[in-house]
Structure 1
Amino acid sequence: MSLLKDLTKGIYRENPVFRLVLGMCPFLAVTTSVENALGMGAAATFVLICSNFLVSLFRNIIPSKVRIPCYIVIIATFVTLVDMVMNAYLPDLHRSLGIFIPLIVVNCIILGRAEGFANRHPVLNSIADAVGMGIGFTLAMVILASFRELLGNGTLLNINVLGSAYQNQPLLIAILAPGAFILLSFILGFFNILEKRKGGRQ
C-alpha cells in the first residue's frame, strides 16, 4: 500500500507542477508542442528514476555535509547519458529541446526528490516516488503543450486538427511566452477549484 501511495501521489495530490509549482523553467519553455513535452518528460523521468535509485541506495554512505554535490554529480551523469543518446537517435528533438536537456541537472523537482525523499526512504519506495513524479510532470507538460500547440498551430503531434483555415490565422500568443503563463494560470485555477470543492465535501 505504501508503494502504491508513493507511486500515485505525484500524479495528482502532489503533482510537481500543478500542486507544488516546481520545474517551471523547462515546463513553460518547451511546451510549445506535445512532442517536445513528451521528450522532456521522458528525459526527466529517466533521470528521476536513476538518481532516486542511487541516492537511496547510498543514502547511508554519502556524508551528510557533501550530499548535495554528490546528488548533482549523480544527476549530471544520467543527464549526460540522456543528452548523448537523444543527440544520437533523436537529433531533431534534441535540437528542439536545446539547452533545457543539460538544465535537467539543476531541475528542482529532481534535486527535491533526491533530498526530500530518496535520501530518507528505501530503494523501492524511492523508485515508486520517481515514477509517480515523472508521470505527473510529463502529464502536466502534455496538458499545457496540447492547449498551446492546438491554439497556436491548429495541430496535435503535428497532425492538422483544426483545418487549414485556422492555420492561416492561429492564436499565435499561445505558443509565445505570454500564452504559456496565461494558459498555466487557467490550469492552476482549475486545479485549485477542484481542491476547494473536494475540501468542501469532506
Structure 2
Amino acid sequence: MATKSSAEIVRDGLWTNNPALVQVLGLCPLLAVTSTVVNAIGLGLATLMVLMGSNLAVSLIRNFVSESVRLPAFVMIIASFVTCAELLMQAYTYELYQILGIFIPLIVTNCAILGRADAFASKNPPLPALLDGVMMGIGFLIVLIALGAMRELVGQGTLFTDMDLLLGPMAADWGIRPLEQYPDVLFMVLPPGAFVGLGLLIALKNGIDNHLKAHRKAVEPIVAGSKRVRVTGHVS
C-alpha cells in the first residue's frame, strides 16, 4: 500500500474524509455531550489524545502481530490510552470528567479510533500514522466544537460558559450571553437537537463540496483552452 503524502493525510482528516461529517463515526459521544462548547472540547481533546497514541502504537507493532489477534490487540492498545486520558481528566479536570461521565470510557468503542487503527495505522509507518491520528482527531474536535457552539447558542443563548471547568479560574469570565432575555430552546439541548445540528453541518459541507466541484467544472474548459492556445502558438 502506497503511503499517502502529508498533504493528503491533512486534507483527509480535516475535510475530505472527516470522521464525523464523512465517515459518520463516533456519533454516540458526538450527539450526547455536545450541549456546550466546554463539553465538546473536553471530549474532543481526550479523543485526539487516544487517536494519536493508538495510531502510533499500532503502527509500531504492525509487523509483530498476527492476523488472529490483530483486532483484540488494537482494542487493548486503545483501552490503555483511554485509561490514561481518563486518569488525566480525573486529576486535572475532575468536574468536567464527572459531567462527561461514561462517555470518556466509551471512547474505547469509538469506531473512528478503531477504524483508523485498522485501516491506516496498521498499514503505514509511524510518522504518517501519527499524522493521521492528529488530523483525524483535530477534524473530529472541530466538528464537536462547531456542534457544541451551535447547540449552546441556540439552546441556551450563551457561548463558552463554564470554560473554567477545563482551563481553570482564568477562563471563569469567558462566558458570552448575546441576548439577556433569551428563551431557552430545550430541543437543541436534548439529543434530537444534536441530530438536527449534525445534519446541518453535513449539509453545509456537502454544499461547499458541490459548489467547489461546479466551479472546477466551469474552470476546466477555460484552462484547457488556454493550454491549447499556448501549445498552438508555440508550434507555429
Matching of residue 190 in structure 1 with residue 219 in structure 2: no
Aligned to 1:80: 83
CA contact (8 A) 1:151 1:172 kept: no
Secondary structure of 1:155 counterpart: coil
5+ unaligned residues in a row in structure 1: which ranges?
none
Deviation at 1:150, TM superposition (A): 0.6
Of 2, 5, 9, the match for 1:6: 9
Deviation at 1:199, TM superposition (A): 2.0
Q: 1 CA distance for matches of 2:154 and 2:212?
A: 30
Aligned to 1:65: 68
- How far does the alpha carbon of each residue in 1:3-37 deviate from its partner, in whole angstroms, 9 at most, with x for none? 23213320111111111111111100010010011
Deviation at 1:185, TM superposition (A): 1.4
Deviation at 1:85, TM superposition (A): 1.3
Bigger mean CA offset, 133-142 vs 146-155? 146-155
Name the larger-Rg structure.
Answer: 2
TM-score normalised by length of structure 1: 0.95
CA contact (8 A) 1:56 1:122 kept: yes
Of 88, 93, 96, the match for 2:96: 93
Matching of residue 36 in structure 1 with residue 39 in structure 2: yes
Secondary structure of 2:14 counterpart: coil
Deviation at 1:164, TM superposition (A): 2.3
Deviation at 1:123, TM superposition (A): 0.3
Matching of residue 107 in structure 1 with residue 110 in structure 2: yes
Moved over 6 A (4+): none
CA contact (8 A) 1:11 1:132 kept: yes
Bigger mean CA offset, 182-191 vs 101-110? 182-191
- How far does the alpha carbon of each residue in 1:137-188 deviate from its partner, in whole angstroms, 9 at most, with x for none? 000000000000011111111113223211xx12221111111111211111
Number of equivalent positions: 200
Of 45, 48, 71, the match for 2:48: 45
Aligned to 2:195: 181
TM-score normalised by length of structure 2: 0.82
Q: 1 CA distance for matches of 2:95 and 2:180?
A: 25
Letter in 2 for 1:105: V
Aligned to 1:164: 180
Deviation at 1:67, TM superposition (A): 0.4
Q: 2 CA distance for matches of 1:7 and 1:38?
A: 20
Q: RMSD in angstroms over aligned alpha carbons?
A: 1.2
Of 131, 138, 141, the match for 1:138: 141
Letter in 1 for 2:74: Y
Aligned to 1:16: 19
Q: 2 CA distance for matches of 1:28 and 1:65?
A: 34
Letter in 2 for 1:161: R
CA contact (8 A) 1:4 1:128 kept: no
Letter in 1 for 2:211: R
Q: 2 CA distance for matches of 1:96 and 1:140?
A: 20
Q: 2 CA distance for matches of 1:15 and 1:113?
A: 11
Letter in 2 for 1:74: I
5+ unaligned residues in a row in structure 2: which ranges?
162-174, 217-236
Q: Percent identity?
A: 43
Deviation at 1:48, TM superposition (A): 0.5
Deviation at 1:201, TM superposition (A): 2.3
